Amino acid sequence: MTVSEEIKNAVADLVVSRFSDDKIASVSVQPGEDSDGDPVLNILVVFEAEAGRDTLDGKKMSGLARRLIAKLSEMNFDAFPLVSFVSTKDAKKLNLEAA
């Protein structure tokens, strides 16, 4: 499965707008498959942690998948979004390209 730039941009735009009060460093979108062979979107959100706060708002994080599912459905793209969040500090430690 390939993921068009349109889908990648729509996902990134949704993430950035959802976390408009936070600093999102990058959003990576890669196609994948779950253990049953069904299509998924692996989404990695890298954010800059603020002093005294090392994570994003939990309510916003948990509601993101529902919003992504609705957006992908609107665009007739059939893949379940699997979202991971990591701070820029931890992304560097893990040698993630998005950092």
How far does Cα 34 stand from its chain's mean position?
A: 17
| Residue whose structure tokens are 């692996």 | 42
pLDDT of residue 99: 45
Strands 39-48 and 23-33: antiparallel
Check residue 50 and give its pLDDT: 76
User: Which pLDDT score, from 0 to 100, does residue 85 have?
Assistant: 93
What's the rounded Cα separation, in Å, for the pair 18 and 29? 16
- Residue spans of the chain under pLDDT 70: 97-99
Tokens of 95: 């040698």
What per-residue confidence (pLDDT) applies to 97? Answer: 59
Domain ranges in the chain?
5-93
What pLDDT is recorded for position 86?
92
Q: CB of 12 within 8 A of CB of 19? A: no
pLDDT of amino acid 73:
95
Identify the CATH assignment for 5-93 out of 3.60.15.10, 3.30.300.30, 3.30.420.40, 3.40.80.10: 3.30.300.30
C-alpha–C-alpha distance, residues 31 and 2, integer Å: 6
